[in-house]
């Protein structure tokens, strides 16, 4: 494989409910490794929030369709295609390319997976057949064509069973049958729906434990297990909506080894090179387990495994794709020799919790089931299950824990039971309340199918909360609370005092936070990843980062509205800081975020963005600059009470409030303003008529279609308006078409999604320019950075929304509901 | 829980909370980086006279299971964890880890900064003696300094009398140096008819049973302190029947064939090192628990060849005799806990015996 010179990576497109930043992050890291190996990376993607598109050798912004890929292949003649960094869609596209014959004709190699495996990933039936051939344990399915046979099979399998139509006529029908009385109707309905007049009678795995394994294989067949992760919620609740722990918390060694053996066997059979995410259902009563899914591509779980173990999965996988064997990989002087071959072992626990979009989409169903409801994820790391979990929950900055705790008190007993049996988002707090009201572990475990171990933890959390509340302002209790990961905010609420008081108390008692490194050998080797988490223990492993340094607070889990534009902005900001000579330090809790790449920040703190954490880290690091997103308004106002001894710069991640709805067309004149001059960046306008979008402009075109005379005229007004702003930054001036011309509506900071879009339109690094406006003391002349070629044609930006995925009927597109976006260059 | 302390001979003290027995104990402190199988580890006799620090913070989540003991009476001297989590166990018969350690008179400490202890052990670069005490006062340190740990661990843990583990297949003699049940489990799976003999068994006593093969078990401590007659036994037995040696048994097999052992600076206990199988060029993972290894330079290549090497520290992990059907591994192919990837070695052993049967 020494002749690998260029690779085409198929990107993932707009973020959606199924995927977020993790793929951009993986592409970014993989392409950097390729660059070091002198392999050219060509990336096809249309996600305006992608960092990689701007960093690879050839970023091509094209619709993710087979024709675009064919054009790129004809232009670059890549040696290989990498389909594993673009979600399922990339596999489908690769299969289409295979069917077109272009891959064979051009003699293009497939990296990561062989052709047969691509077909199997795209077809559940094919994969099922392979799994059966290799005697891997899968759920039992039989085909019948009448009620009597269905009844016999259901009796054999045991209820509940799932009845499905074979070759369904319209939408696929799937019925969960809990007992015999429900069977006849289900069989009848599904028979009617089947073009073959047959139904599947299928074993239900609902209620079993869900286990996720990340394994890795190289081209010589060496395999290793990188992580085994346990979901707290059973099968029946989407894995991404469950609280998950790395490593597994309740499994016996025998179960772990059997699952590992099967995951290895599948990965070997599918001849995967790179990582494979295999999901299992474990029936703890019979000790039987079943393979649910095999995903040989990067996903949220791979990102979580990498960040929580400290094993650099993307860097290693990139080299495996390029044909290296695990034994040939050198991870550099911060790791022991052959570290790539050491299976990660953890001396900490990582908890991953879902992030919901309910504040933006109040009508979305909160009921949890097999369909995903969450939009993002955050994680916390601790030295106990509870500490990790509390930190993870606190990392959902926009959903305060104390609020959730208080809300459950209002429930009646019937409501509480209903919420236990029909779980909703945020169920952990319901379970805490249930234990408070005296439900026993066995009752709760029976109702929820959650392992008793977790109720032991929940009970401990409950008792801890009670103990704290009963002993206000007591130092030993504070120490205990902090060692279990509670935030000052929550402690203050329980003590009916202020977080400032709690912070002062911890300072008075010298309760200083210490930090431990996330390192994949659990201390056996002297290795350093640069990932740290707080711990209230004896040893402190932190050392001040060498100066000059900058501390940046990340935007946290993916949230509706901002999508990954915040991660894009911060990644580009970090890059600019690095180029200016700063050593970067980031605080973030989103395992998928590209900003947690070691190339962008040499030190990464996995911590909630709580004021006490920022103050502690400021004390350790004493950075020149502190960057905080504007949306962290509680944090910012709390920090205003303290002497920070650093220069605070606000990252404008707030979404502009739209002026009241109107059916008039609006135009935005965009600028970089350095405090003296306003540099024009051109105009944007709504892509569709405001009426069609119910007055919400979430689709844009660049440039706006204004006559030149008009353009000059309003342009002058716009520049004048920007020059009145008191702070340098990225701004836009909004005009609305009026009967007699144009009316200036307002001047506002450019939203980060638009910053990302304009950066790609103009091929300039606007976040970098923003950064330079605040940091470069010697010479903040930015005019040389603003050189861009006016391009012909039009560029469009279309936001995408999670309405369909989250089953929101009649959802109205709005800026705060955006989950992703697509952009496209059109020739006029 | 009452305060308890882990103290070291160099004067350092680590504070935590006691669980299990309240006994004061002394032992060599080692750390284990396995993420699974705390019960199997605690009941492994290789930890005779040792205090084990678990790096995996969360220990105790499924209590004690009746079918995964590696010995009935463990002789580990202490269990150090970061975060003891005794799960809610409804079934009244099942023990929590805390109760079990009380019954077995083994002290434990939780809420200790285990990562700090690991760093200390790694930096020390030599075995450190420690003690679990209720008060870290001068008296406790005096006692620790005065205590001489026995070097006759095998004598403490080997069975005093022979016992059978009947099966319908090949007849095997297992020499017990501190046997873990995993070995018997693997032989049972292959239907072997096993007789376990004390480590003092002579070659005559072994061969009198006319075994198809002999297994030298794993066990605790320094192989150089095991009585020398064992080496004579090995040299005789390997010429007569197939021999398979594991752990301490492997070290003794090496010494019996002219190799030397040496202590490693930091004992290695875990299951995540890549191990290179030289003949196939495969890389495998297996549980390892070693304080001594065969000195590579001392291996007489006319007698033995090296079959497995640890890719991290280059240690010899397997040997095979050039003339006799005898082979050995430093790691634990029986897992319990740990990966199954090397359990094929038991099949290889069975195949070797079957082939000989066919010849005779």
For chain B, domain boundaries: 3-149, 154-359
- pLDDT grade for A128, boundaries at 50, 70 and 90: confident
The answer for residues whose C-beta is within 8 angstroms of residue A790's C-beta and 6 or more apart is: none
Residues of chain A found within 8 Å of residue B287, distances taken between Cβ atoms: none
**A37 and A86 both lie in a single domain:** yes
Using CA atoms of A143, A146, A147, A149 in order, give the dihedral in degrees to the nearest 10. -50
User: Which chain A residues are Cβ-neighbours of B337 within 8 angstroms?
Assistant: 253, 256-257
Contact B115 A537 (CB under 8 A): yes
Cβ atoms B245, B179 nearer than 8 A: no
Across the interface, do B61 and A453 touch by the CB < 8 Å criterion?
Answer: yes
Rounded average pLDDT over B156-165: 97
Residue B302 Cα, gap to closest chain A Cα (Å): 29
Query: CB-based contact (8 Å) between B13 and chain A?
Result: no
- Whether cis (ω within 30° of 0) applies to the bond prior to A160 is yes
Contact A300/A324 with Cβ under 8 angstroms? no
Answer whether 0.90 is exceeded by the pTM.
yes
Dist CA B290 CA B328 (whole Å): 14
Q: Which of residues 365-384 of A touch B (CB under 8 A)?
A: 383-384
Parallel, antiparallel or unpaired: strands A174-177 and A549-553: unpaired
Closest-approach residue (CA) in chain A for B115? A523
How many contacts, defined by CB atoms under 8 Å, are there between A and B?
A: 147
Least CB–CB distance from B312: residue in A249, A338, A523: A338
Task: Answer whether residue B112 shows pLDDT above 90.
Answer: yes
Strand partners, A647: A625
A697 and A720 both lie in a single domain: yes
What is the arithmetic mean of pLDDT over A446-464?
A: 93
Beta-carbon separation of B119 and A539 below 8 A: yes
* DSSP track, A342-396: SPPB-SSEEEEEEE--TTT-TTS--B-SSS----EEEEEEESSHHHHHHHHHHT-
What pLDDT score was predicted for residue A174? 77
Q: Is the pLDDT of residue B21 over 60?
A: yes
pLDDT(A404) > 80: no
Domain identity same for A822 and A696: yes
Q: What is the pLDDT of residue A370?
A: 84
Q: How many angstroms away from the CA of B62 is the closest CA of chain A?
A: 6
Give residue A661's pLDDT: 60
Question: What is the percent of chain A where pLDDT is above 90?
Answer: 75
Domain end position, chosen among A170, A187, A203: A203
- The pLDDT of residue A171 is above 90: no
Domain match, A772 and A793 both: no
Cα angle A154, A160, A166; round to 5: 60
pLDDT, averaged across chain B = 96
Q: Residue B88 and residue A459: Cβ atoms within 8 Å?
A: yes
Beta-carbon separation of A341 and B87 below 8 A: no
- On whether any CB of chain A is under 8 Å from the CB of B52, the answer is no
- Decide if B1 touches A, using CB distance below 8 A: no
Considering the domain architecture, whether residues A628 and A699 belong to the same structural domain is answered as no
Q: Does A270 touch chain B (CB under 8 A)?
A: no
Considering its fold, how many domains does chain A have in total?
Answer: 4
Across chain A, mean pLDDT equals 92
B154-359 shares the fold of B3-149: no
Contact predicate A120/A92, CB 8 Å: no
Kindly state the DSSP code that residue A205 receives in the 8-state scheme. Answer: -
Query: Do both A95 and A182 map to the same domain?
Result: no
Q: What is the pLDDT of residue B130?
A: 98
Residue of B33, B40, B114 lying closest to A345 (CB–CB): B33
- Structure confidence by residue, pLDDT tens digits, B77-106: 999 999 998 765 655 668 999 999 999 999
Helix (H, G, I), strand (E, B) or coil at B138: helix
Q: Looking at the complex, report in whole angstroms how far the Cα of residue B97 sits from the nearest Cα belonging to chain A.
A: 14
Provide the domain limits for residue A199: 141-203
In a domain, A488, yes or no: no
Q: Residue A733: inside a domain, yes or no?
A: yes
User: Does the beta-carbon distance from A345 to B56 stay under 8 Å?
Assistant: yes
Tens-place pLDDT, residues A317-332 = 999 999 999 999 999 9
Say yes or no for a CB contact (<8 Å) between A452 and B89. yes
Residue of B nearest to A339 (CA): B312
The CATH code belonging to domain B154-359 is 3.40.50.880
Q: B303-316: buried (b, 16+ CB within 10 Å) or exposed (e) per residue? A: bbbbbbbbbbbebb
> Which of B300, B41, B336 lies closest to B184 in space, CA to CA?
B336
Q: What is the per-residue pLDDT for A692?
A: 55
Residue B290 has which token pair?
């070693």
Tell me the mean pLDDT in the region A738-745: 87
Summarize pLDDT for A700-732 with one digit per residue, the tens: 899 888 888 888 889 999 999 999 999 999 999
In A78-123, which residue ranges form alpha helices assigned H by DSSP?
Answer: 87-100, 102-105, 115-122
* Cβ atoms of B27 and B148 closer than 8 Å: no
- Is residue A783 very low, low, confident or very high in pLDDT (cuts 50, 70, 90)? confident
Residue A2 confidence (pLDDT) above 90? no
Among A257, A344, A522, whose Cβ lies nearest the Cβ of B340? A257
Burial class (CB in 10 A: 0-12, 13-18, 19+), A694: exposed
pLDDT in tens, A490-505: 999 999 999 999 999 9
Give me the pLDDT at residue A778, please. 55
Q: Which of A327, A385, A523 sits opposite B58 (nearest CB)?
A: A385
Residues of chain A neighbouring B340 (CB-CB closer than 8 A): 257, 260-261
CA angle B37, B38, B41 (to 5 degrees): 90
Query: What is the CATH number assigned to the segment(s) B3-149?
Result: 3.50.30.20
Q: Which two tokens stand for residue A708?
A: 């030149």
Q: Do A222 and B37 touch (CB under 8 A)?
A: no
Segment among A88-102, A196-210, A782-796 with least mean pLDDT: A782-796
pLDDT digits (tens, 9 = 90+) for A202-252: 899 999 999 999 999 999 999 999 999 999 999 999 999 999 999 999 999
Q: Which residue would you say has higher pLDDT here, B143 or B92?
A: B143
> Are both A805 and A724 inside the same structural domain?
yes
Q: Does B89 touch chain A (CB under 8 A)?
A: yes
Question: In terms of domains, do A724 and A822 share one?
Answer: yes
Residues of A in contact with B87 (CB under 8 A): 250, 452-453, 456
User: Tens digits of per-residue pLDDT, A330-359?
Assistant: 999 999 999 999 999 999 999 999 999 998
> Which range among A353-367, A695-709, B24-38 shows the weakest confidence by mean pLDDT?
A695-709
> CA nearest A527 in B: which residue?
B119
Interface of A with B in 562-581 (CB under 8 A): none
A693 & A793 share domain: yes
What is the arithmetic mean of pLDDT over B221-236?
97
Structural contact between residues A123 and A95, judged by C-beta atoms closer than 8 angstroms: no
In this complex, is the C-beta atom of B37 within 8 Å of any C-beta atom belonging to chain A?
yes
The verdict on B12 touching A (C-beta cutoff 8 Å) is no
Residue A671 vs residues A101, A684, A733, A758: alpha-carbon distances, Å: 47, 11, 8, 11
Domain assignment of residue A258, yes or no: no
Percent of residues, chain B, with pLDDT higher than 90: 95
Asked if the structure places residue A158 within a domain, the reply is yes
Q: Which of A408-412, A699-703, B66-70 has the highest mean predicted lDDT (pLDDT)?
A: B66-70
Q: Is the pLDDT of residue A698 over 80?
A: no
Structural Rg of chain B based on CA atoms: 20
Going B133 to B135 to B139 to B142, the CA torsion angle's sign is positive
Q: Which of the pair, B1 or B169, is modelled with greater confidence?
A: B169
Chain A nearest CA to B63, separation (Å): 10
CATH of residue A169: 3.30.1490.20
CA angle centred on A689, ends A685 and A695, rounded to 5°: 90
A811 has a pLDDT exceeding 90:
no
Task: Tell me if the bond preceding A796 is cis, omega within 30° of 0.
Answer: no
A93 and A21: one domain? yes
Could you tell me if A802 and A683 are in contact, meaning their C-beta atoms sit under 8 angstroms apart?
Answer: no
**Quick check: is A37 in a domain?**
yes
The interaxial angle of helices A488-495 and A385-394, nearest 10 deg, is 90
Q: Which residue of B has its CA nearest to A538?
A: B113
pLDDT of A531-558, one tens digit each? 999 999 999 999 999 999 999 999 999 8
Q: Provide the 8-state DSSP code for A333.
A: T
The minimum CA-CA distance between A54 and chain B, rounded to whole Å, is 38
The predicted pLDDT at position A696 comes to: 54
Question: How many CB atoms sit inside 10 A of residue B145's CB?
Answer: 12
The nearest CA of chain B is from the CA of A322 a distance in Å of 20
Tallying the residues shown for chain B, one arrives at 360
Cβ separation of B40 and A337 shorter than 8 Å? Answer: no
Q: Do B283 and A222 touch (CB under 8 A)?
A: yes
DSSP A643: -
Is A453 an interface residue toward B (CB < 8 Å)? yes
pLDDT of residue A777: 61
Is residue A528 less than 8 Å (CB to CB) from chain B?
A: no
Nearest CB to A249 within list B55, B58, B285: B58
Do A100 and A165 lie in a common domain?
Answer: no
Can you tell me the ipTM of this complex? Answer: 0.97
Q: What is the mean pLDDT of residues A158-177?
A: 81
Q: Does residue B312 register a pLDDT over 60?
A: yes
| Residues 319-338 (A) with a CB less than 8 A from some CB of B | 326-327, 336-338
> What is the pLDDT confidence band of residue A597, given thresholds at 50, 70 and 90?
very high
Rounded Cα gap, residues A504 and A488, in angstroms: 10
> How many alpha carbons lie under 13 Å from residue A438 in its C-beta half-sphere?
1
Which tokens is A464 given? 């801890």
Give yes or no: residues A677 and A780 share one domain: no
Helices (H) and strands (E) in chain A, counts: 27, 30
- In a mutagenesis test of the A interface, which of B53, B272, B309, B335 is the best target, namely the one with the most A β-carbons within 10 Å? B272
């Amino acid at each position: 494989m020494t002749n690998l010179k260029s690779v085409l990576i198929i990107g993932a497109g707009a973020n959606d409910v199924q995927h977020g930043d993790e793929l951009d992050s993986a592409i970014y890291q993989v392409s950097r490794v390729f660059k070091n190996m002198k392999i050219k990376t060509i990336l096809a993607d249309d996600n305006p929030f992608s960092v990689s598109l701007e960093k690879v050798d050839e970023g091509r912004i094209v619709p993710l369709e087979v024709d675009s890929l064919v054009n790129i292949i004809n232009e670059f003649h890549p040696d290989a295609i990498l389909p594993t960094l673009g979600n399922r869609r990339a596999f489908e596209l690769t299969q289409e390319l295979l069917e077109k014959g272009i891959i064979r004709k051009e003699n293009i190699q497939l990296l990561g997976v062989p052709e047969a495996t691509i077909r199997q990933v795209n077809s559940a039936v094919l994969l099922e057949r392979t799994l059966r051939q290799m005697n891997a344990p899968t759920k039992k399915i039989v085909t019948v064509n009448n009620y009597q046979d269905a009844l016999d099979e259901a009796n054999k399998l045991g209820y509940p069973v799932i009845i499905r139509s074979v070759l369904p006529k319209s939408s696929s029908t799937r019925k969960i049958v809990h007992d015999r009385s429900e069977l006849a109707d289900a069989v009848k309905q599904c028979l009617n729906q089947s073009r073959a007049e047959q139904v599947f009678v299928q074993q239900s795995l609902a209620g079993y434990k869900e286990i996720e394994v990340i394994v890795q294989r190289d081209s010589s067949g060496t395999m290793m297990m990188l992580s085994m992760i346990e979901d707290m919620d059973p099968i029946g609740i989407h894995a991404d909506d469950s609280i998950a722990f790395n490593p597994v918390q309740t499994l016996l060694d025998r179960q772990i080894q059997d699952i590992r053996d099967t995951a290895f066997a599948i990965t070997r059979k599918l001849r995967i090179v790179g990582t494979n995410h295999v999901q299992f259902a474990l029936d703890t009563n019979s000790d039987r387990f079943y393979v649910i899914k095999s995903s040989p591509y990067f996903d949220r779980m791979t990102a979580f495994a990498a960040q929580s173990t400290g094993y650099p999965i993307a860097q290693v996988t990139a080299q495996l794709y390029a044909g290296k064997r695990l034994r040939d990989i050198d991870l550099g002087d911060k790791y022991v020799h052959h570290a790539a071959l050491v299976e990660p072992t953890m001396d900490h626990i990582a908890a991953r919790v879902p992030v919901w979009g309910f504040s933006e989409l109040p009508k979305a169903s909160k009921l949890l089931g097999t369909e995903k409801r969450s939009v993002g994820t955050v994680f916390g790391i601790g030295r106990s299950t509870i500490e990790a979990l509390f930190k993870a929950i606190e990392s959902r900055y926009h959903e305060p824990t104390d609020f959730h705790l208080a809300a459950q008190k209002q429930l009646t007993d019937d409501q509480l039971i209903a919420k236990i049996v029909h779980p909703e988002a945020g169920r952990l707090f319901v379970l805490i309340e249930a234990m408070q009201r005296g439900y026993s572990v066995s009752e709760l475990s029976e109702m929820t199918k959650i392992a008793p171990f977790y109720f032991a933890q929940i009970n401990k959390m409950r008792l801890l909360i009670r103990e704290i509340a009963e002993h206000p302002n007591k130092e030993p209790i504070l120490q205990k609370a902090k060692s279990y990961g509670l935030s000052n905010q929550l402690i203050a609420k329980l003590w009916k005092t202020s977080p400032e008081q709690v912070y002062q108390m911890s300072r008075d008692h010298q309760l200083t936070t210490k930090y431990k490194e996330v390192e994949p050998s659990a201390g056996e080797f002297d290795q350093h990843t640069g990932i740290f988490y707080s711990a209230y223990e004896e040893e402190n492993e932190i050392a001040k980062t060498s100066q000059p340094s900058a501390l940046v607070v990340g935007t946290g889990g993916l949230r509706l509205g901002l999508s990954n534009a915040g991660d894009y902005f911060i990644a580009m900001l970090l890059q600019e800081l690095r180029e200016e000579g700063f050593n970067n330090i980031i605080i973030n809790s989103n395992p998928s975020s590209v900003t947690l790449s070691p190339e962008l920040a040499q030190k990464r703190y996995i911590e909630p963005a709580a004021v006490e954490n920022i103050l502690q880290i400021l004390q350790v690091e004493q950075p020149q600059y502190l960057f905080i997103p504007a949306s962290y308004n509680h944090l910012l106002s709390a920090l205003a009470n303290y002497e920070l001894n650093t220069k605070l710069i606000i990252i404008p991640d707030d979404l502009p409030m739209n002026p009241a709805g109107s059916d008039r067309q609006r135009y935005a004149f965009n600028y970089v303003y350095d405090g003296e001059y306003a540099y024009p960046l051109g105009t944007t306008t709504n892509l569709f008529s405001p009426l069609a979008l119910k007055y919400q402009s979430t689709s844009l075109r660049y440039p706006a279609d204004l006559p030149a005379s008009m353009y000059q005229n309003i342009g002058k007004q716009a520049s004048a308006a920007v020059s009145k702003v008191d702070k340098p930054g990225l701004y836009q001036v909004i005009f609305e078409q009026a009967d007699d011309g144009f009316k200036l509506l307002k001047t506002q900071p450019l939203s980060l999604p638009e910053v990302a879009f304009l950066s790609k339109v103009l091929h300039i690094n606007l976040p970098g320019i923003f950064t330079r406006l605040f940091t470069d003391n010697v010479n903040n002349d930015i005019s040389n950075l603003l050189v861009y070629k006016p391009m012909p044609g039009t560029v469009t930006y279309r936001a995408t929304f999670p309405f369909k995925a989250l089953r929101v009927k009649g959802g109205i597109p709005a800026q705060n509901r955006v989950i992703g976006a697509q952009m496209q260059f059109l020739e006029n | 829980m009452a305060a308890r302390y882990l103290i070291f001979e160099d004067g350092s003290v680590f504070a935590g909370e006691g669980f299990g027995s309240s006994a004061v104990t002394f032992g060599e402190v080692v750390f284990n980086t396995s993420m699974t199988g705390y019960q199997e580890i605690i009941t492994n006799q290789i930890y005779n006279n040792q205090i084990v620090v678990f790096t995996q913070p969360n220990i105790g989540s499924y209590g004690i299971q009746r079918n995964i003991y590696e010995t009935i009476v463990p002789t580990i001297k202490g269990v150090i964890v970061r975060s003891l989590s005794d799960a809610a166990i409804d079934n009244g018969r099942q023990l929590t880890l805390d109760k079990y350690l009380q019954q077995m008179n083994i002290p434990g400490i939780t809420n200790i900064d285990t990562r700090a202890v690991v760093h200390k052990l790694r930096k020390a670069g030599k075995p450190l003696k420690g003690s679990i005490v209720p008060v870290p006062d001068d008296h406790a340190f005096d006692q620790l300094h005065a205590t001489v740990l026995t070097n006759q661990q095998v004598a403490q843990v080997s069975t005093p009398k022979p016992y059978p583990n009947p099966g319908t297949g090949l007849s095997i003699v297992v020499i017990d140096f501190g046997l873990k049940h995993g070995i018997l489990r693997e032989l049972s799976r292959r239907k072997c008819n096993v007789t376990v003999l004390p480590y003092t068994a002579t070659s005559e006593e072994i061969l009198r049973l006319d075994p198809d093969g002999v297994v030298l078990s794993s066990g605790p401590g320094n192989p150089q302190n095991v009585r020398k007659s064992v080496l004579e036994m090995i040299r005789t037995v390997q010429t007569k029947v197939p021999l398979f040696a594991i752990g301490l048994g492997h070290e003794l097999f090496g010494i019996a064939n002219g190799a030397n052992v040496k202590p490693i600076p930091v004992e290695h206990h875990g299951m995540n090192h890549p191990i290179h199988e030289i003949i196939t060029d495969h890389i495998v993972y297996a549980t390892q628990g070693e304080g001594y290894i065969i000195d590579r330079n001392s291996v007489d290549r006319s007698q033995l060849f090296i079959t497995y090497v640890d890719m991290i520290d280059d240690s010899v992990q397997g040997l095979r005799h050039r003339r006799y059907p005898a082979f050995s591994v430093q790691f634990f192919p029986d897992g319990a806990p740990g990966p199954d990837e090397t359990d094929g070695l038991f099949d290889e052993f069975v195949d070797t015996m079957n082939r000989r049967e066919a010849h005779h």
